[in-house]
Amino acid sequence: MLTEIRITGFGGQGVIRFGYLLGKAVSIYDGKQATMTQSFGPEARGSACSSQVVISDDRVLYPYVTTPHMVVVMSQEGYAKHANNITGDGTLIIDEDLVKPDQPKKGIKFFAIPATRLAEEMGAKIAANIVMFGFFTAITNLTMEESARKAIQASFSERLIELNLKAFDKGFQYGKNLLKAV
């Protein structure tokens, strides 16, 4: 099974880190194969950027996303550029405070979370990507919760692990609650 994911937003939101954590969780802790590529504008912050992750049960023969099965959007510009380039039965996930979507294509599974607002309520707006990573983990079941948590623990300095695990839990719980309501 091959799954292509594109995470998009603007520089400074942690879009690349999200892709890195997802790839690490599935490849190291879930025992699958994964590749991650990234693209960003010449500016360090504020320009469009994206992270592409390809996950497979077997070797990944082509590391680039062609038509993603899942698109995670954290900026309006990213939505305009990437939201319509998704498989017909794909999953679209947005930060509802930063993205005002059009009507999703028919057949697309659509989910929204106020990731930035939830991170701000924690006093750590910079952790919005980790809130989104938790939400993504709960909604898609592409990686196990424990694998995602281990990837976070292995990827941050000791002083940032607790904050990022709390952010992950906030997004994960939001996703689980949303799925129960549906």
Chain centroid, CA 102 distance in Å = 20
Domains of the chain: 2-181 (3.40.920.10)
pLDDT of 142: 95
Report the chain (182 residues): mean pLDDT per 10 consecutive residues.
Answer: 94 93 97 92 70 95 93 95 92 96 87 98 96 98 97 96 98 97 86
Q: Tell me, what DSSP letter sits at residue 12?
A: T
pLDDT attached to residue 150: 98
| pTM exceeding the 0.85 threshold for the entire prediction | yes
Six token digits for residue 3: 């799954």
Residue spans of beta strands (DSSP E) within 25-176? 33-40, 48-56, 70-73, 91-95, 109-113
Whether the CB-CB separation of 175 and 137 falls below 8 Å is answered with yes
pLDDT at 12: 86
